[in-house]
Structure 1
Amino acid sequence: MRKKIIGISIVVIVAVAAAWNINASKSNVTLSDMTLDNVEALASGESSGDFTATTGCIAVWYSASCYGKDGQNHSYAIRQ
């Protein structure tokens, strides 16, 4: 009976330590306005109307390719 209590106590101590460690490792990250502006700029992409006018393709975020009217194959683009 005594060994059972000691074994259960050890399991409980390990579980509490693990739960405390997980809770302590969670961090609350706050981003500055400049960081958020940079993320927004990256998310908007680098394509412009010139790219579409020149190639006949529209830039997309997923893996696709478009054979443009400029004779080139453009990755991450679809036919307009």
Structure 2
Amino acid sequence: MTDDMGREAIRIVLEGGPDRFPAEERTRYVAACEPRFKIQHYGGYEHFERDEDVTAAAGAVVVYRWVARTEIAE
């Protein structure tokens, strides 16, 4: 699978973060080369980083752990 820019995409699961972060938003596809991922949520961004302690086999789901939240500037 590839992303919109033609890069290899991997399936990830987002762990941690706010309790109200929807379960259906926690699994998605991102470019395999991305060490970080952020998603807009309730007026801010939730930031996740790839868990390097988890070695994923080809086709396995990669874990990204929550690291911070930032607010959207108005």
| TM-score w.r.t. length of structure 2 | 0.24
**Structure 1 or 2: larger strand share?**
2
| TM-score w.r.t. length of structure 1 | 0.23
**Structure 1 or 2: larger helix share?**
1
Max radius of gyration: which structure? 1
Greater relative contact order structure (CA < 8 Å, 6+ sep): 2
